[in-house]
Structure formats: C-alpha cells, structure tokens
Structure 1
C-alpha cells in the first residue's frame, strides 16, 4: 500500500484520540470500513474539525501500517441537518450503525456506500418538509435497512416460505390469510403460535415491493400503508438484525418509541 492515498467516504463514527486528535471510522468504496487518526481535529478552529459523523469527505491519507493519518480533508457533503428532527436523526444513526455491522475493516461491500448516501439524502429531504411527515421517515427507515441488509449478505427472504419453499403469494382481499415471521429463518405460510410477527396479505405485499428503489406512493401522493403497518414492518427488521447480526440497534428502538409516543399524543 502506498504511503499516501486519497479516499472519499462517509464518516460513520467519531471518538477522541489523545488530547487533540480524533479517531474516525470511514466507509469508502475502496477500503470498506477504515479507522483513521485526524490530527488536531478537536482543537478550536482546526481545519480538521469537519471530520464529524454523517459527513462525506475527500481525504488525503498517509501511512503504511498501523493507524493511518489524515493529512488533508475536504467536505463534499454534510448531513448535519438530519439532527433537526429526532426521527430523522434516529433513522440516520440506525443506518450508520447497521453499515458498521455489515462492513468489515478493509473489506468493501460494492454499492453499500452509494445506497447509504442515497437514503441519507432522502431522510434529509424529509426533515425539511413542513409539516413533518413521520410516516414517510418511518417507511424510509424500513426500506433503507432492507436495502442495506441485502447488500451486506443478510437479506430477508420475502418471496418464498422458509419451510416449504412455496412462493409467498399474498392473496389480497383474503383477510383470514396470514404468514408468520420466524426471525431465524424467514416467513412461513399460516398463523403460527408464538411467531414474532404475523402479517396479513396487504402487509406482506407492501414488504415485498420495498426492494424497489423508491417508496410506494399512491397516485395522489399518499404513502401506501398506515403508520401501524410500518411499525410492524420495522419490528420485522429489528428481529432479523438481532437474530442474524446478534445486535440490537438502539436508534431503531428510539425511532419506534418516538413514533408511538407522537401517535399517542394525537
């Protein structure tokens, strides 16, 4: 590896290093997840102070072995405005936490960075809408997690029964039909006692279209699915991450709690 190289990446995590430096975890297409030292980043008015979470940077990096250092940086995009709303901040934090679980050090996942940036831009756009669209933020979080999990090799099987292999073809309009979610395996046709989550035909159909690039909207511009359905789909995501990555993402729980509390107020 050359002693000097250039990287473009998103800062996922920041911590203190020594008295005035920062330690950042950077997601890039070239190197996956990389830990870098940013000298003097905690000094007042330092040129390196822009090395902050949710900032897309171009970096000049030096070092051959051990902890490499950032010599220069340029801000390409800051997602700091996501912090204006608790929901968008929680959603963004959940996506960065999930990305760190999915990407190993110096082992890039093709397409993950561009997908993460796309979803952060969508969340940022939602944070500027007045009145704030809580349902869309919740739905965007579900879809983005689904996309990242698939890219990272932990996609949720939503097209076939995990027990029989039969297609999961939801019979829309048959409200007695159910499928059951088993976090270790996937979906099973039928209502199983003790299942983590049960979905009706319209809920499963909604989940099955989320791998598409865009969220599903009606012709009148309204988001498909009520808030309670998106909360149920978020639970599917949470159960799957816990079962397969052996971690809970606290930011997803914060998002869930925020949405529920706001709903109770109204």
Structure 2
C-alpha cells in the first residue's frame, strides 16, 4: 500500500499545532480540500518555514498518518509574495480564500476552483502598491470580480441580466437619474421595480402578471434588499466577463464599493456564514480615503 501521495495545492489557512507544528488547510487540484500537519514548521530553522505561508502554491509530498497526514516535502510553484506588500491586497486575498473554504469539497478533484482562485490572486498581486484612492478601488473591483466568479462556479451567482420575477431583460437606464432596479437576496438577483404596486417598508406582497411586467398582490412577498442605480446594475451585469481590468475606472468608486457590499451580503446569506476578512477591506478603504 502506498503510504505517500503527491498533490499541488495552495495554502488557505494555517494554525498552530502542538509545540512546533502547523495545521494547514490546503486547496489541491487533485483531492480538493485537505488538512495536513507541517512538522516542525514553527521552529526557526525549519526547512518548511518559508514554504507554508498563506497563498503559497507548492507541490507537496505527503505521508499518510493514523489521524493526520504529514508534509514530508514542499516545492514552491508560486509564492504570491506580492500580496503581503499591501494591506488591501492581502485582505482581498483572505476574503477570496474564505469564500473558497465555504464551497470547496474534500476527496475529489477541485482543479477548476484551484485555477480560478489562482487567477484572481495573481490579478490582485499585479496591482500597484501605491497608497492612493484609485488603487484602493482597483483592489475592490478586482475583489468584486473574483467574488462573482466564485459564486458562479458554486452555482449560486445572482441573476443579473433578467428580472427574477418576470424573467425579462432588465437594462440600466442612464438617461433617467432617478431610475433604480431592485435586488432581492433570497429571490436570487435583480428585480424590475417598475409598476410595483403594494409595498410595506422594504417588502412587497406582489407578483408580476405573466407577460405584463405589472405586480399583483396575491402571493408570497418578495423582499427588496437594495435599490440599484444604473451604474450599480451595469457593474453587476459585467461581472460574468472573464476580464474587466480595462473598465475598472469606468465606474465611480462608490458604485464598486456598493456592489462589493451587496455581493458580500448575498454570499453570506447563501453560504450561511459571515466573511470575517471583509472587515479588513472596510478598514483599508476607510484609511485610503
């Protein structure tokens, strides 16, 4: 029986284990999420010390154990060292890692999830480290794009092209400064608010008559969690694209921040857990002005 195995993985979490070891949570292409021990990793002269930092990608040789497998060798593929040079980039990386931990599976291949996380971490790493408001928004835009892609891979991305109620296309109207669309977290995406009949606070006991776009009042309430101006909806409708780096500056900073926070609420609702790293992003933005 083979007592060792090889995997390529990215370290998502590390915690102390015993007197000198570390317990690592690693997303691997071959086996999905694994938890293994890094023996002696907390010792000053450990040969694993510089190879088991957060977001480091290694080719691991792992020995099977009775209760916990152990790393015997680690060869660095990509260190993502640039993320640690900027608080915003590091916080955004941790945010994405939390989402991955919420959806990754164990004991089955997770190559697509692995590659998606690698791609968005690399995009964050390539951003400048300048302490400017413009760079802070670029980090938020990159993070927001990654959030949406991870939600899409999990099969729970919000519906942003069609109204959740009518299933008709909803196009942002930039010509009307008062135009807004709705967003319903539990209904799964955007809602056309035109013709909304009966509301109570931020709830409506309405439905849309087939083919008319008008709301009726004889069914289960639809909760409207946010109202989206045209620029917010435009961002949401672009997030499925593979690359948005050329259009990050086309939207105001407030719009990117609003969309990130909306997707944050959406992800927390659907994964049923809070995103602790999100508070670091808020702190970073406040400090960046």
Deviating runs (4+, > 3 A) in structure 1?
A: 107-110, 127-132
Shift of 1:65: 5.6
Contact 1:7 1:28 in 2 (8 A): yes
**2:235 equivalent to 1:198:** no
| Match 1:239 to one of 265, 286, 289 | 265
Question: Counterpart of 1:34 in 2: which secondary structure?
Answer: strand
- RMSD in angstroms over aligned alpha carbons? 2.1
CA deviation digits over 1:108-162, x for unaligned, max 9? 4441111111111111111445757111101001000111111122212112111
**2:117 equivalent to 1:116:** yes
Contact 2:30 2:111 in 1 (8 A): no
Contact 2:161 2:237 in 1 (8 A): yes
State the distance in 2 between where 1:197 and 1:254 align. 23
Query: Kindly tell me: are residues 168 and 64 of structure 1, through their superposed partners in 2, closer, same or farther at Cα, counting changes over 3 Å?
Result: farther
Length-normalised TM-score, structure 1:
0.90
CA deviation digits over 1:63-108, x for unaligned, max 9? 1663211111111111233122221111011011111001122244
| Match 1:227 to one of 248, 253, 258 | 253
**2:37 equivalent to 1:37:** yes
State the distance in 2 between where 1:4 and 1:228 align. 51
User: What is aligned with 2:149?
Assistant: 147
CA deviation digits over 1:160-180, x for unaligned, max 9? 111222222323423333211
- Higher mean C-alpha deviation, range 102-111 or range 153-162: 102-111
Rg larger in structure? 2
Shift of 1:203: 2.0
Shift of 1:233: 0.2
Shift of 1:245: 0.7
**2:15 equivalent to 1:12:** no
